[in-house]
């Protein structure tokens, strides 16, 4: 199975899962200002969360995503780099583009070019 096909399958699966479980993922009161006070995700955890979907994953970096409630995971699989977003519950993954509505800037592409 090619990495492109795998990402497409993950995208479809994660979209259904993510939007279907949105209330659960963001159901608690929310963060004050610094989400990292309540939520954590390190590279090892991110690898464990994503390994069932991407068995040969190598996590390059984990940081807050430009959209609230998500972690941005820079990864490498089969020699190709990519970005996945994991929600704070660590139960859902989103692989796709985050675009800033006001500026129409593709934040995922901008970040991908930094890798």
pTM of the model: 0.69
The CATH-assigned architecture of domain 3-114 is Roll (3.10)
So where are the chain's domains? 3-114
3-state DSSP assignment of residue 61: strand
Residues of the chain above pLDDT 70, percent: 72
Q: Give residue-wise pLDDT tens across range 63-96.
A: 999 999 999 999 999 999 999 999 999 999 999 9
Q: Are 84 and 112 in contact (CB under 8 A)?
A: no
29 strand-pairing partners = none
Q: Are 114 and 59 in contact (CB under 8 A)?
A: no
């Amino acid at each position: 199975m090619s990495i492109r096909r795998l990402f497409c399958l993950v995208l479809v699966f994660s979209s259904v899962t993510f939007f279907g479980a949105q209330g659960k993922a963001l159901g608690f009161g929310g963060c004050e200002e610094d989400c990292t006070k309540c939520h954590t995700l390190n590279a090892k955890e991110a690898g464990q969360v994503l390994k069932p979907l991407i068995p040969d994953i190598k996590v390059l970096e984990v940081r807050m995503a430009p959209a609230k409630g998500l972690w941005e995971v820079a990864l490498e699989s089969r020699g190709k780099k990519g970005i996945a977003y994991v929600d704070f519950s660590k139960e859902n993954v989103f692989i796709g583009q985050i675009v800033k509505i006001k500026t129409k800037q593709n934040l995922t592409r901008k970040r991908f070019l930094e890798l």
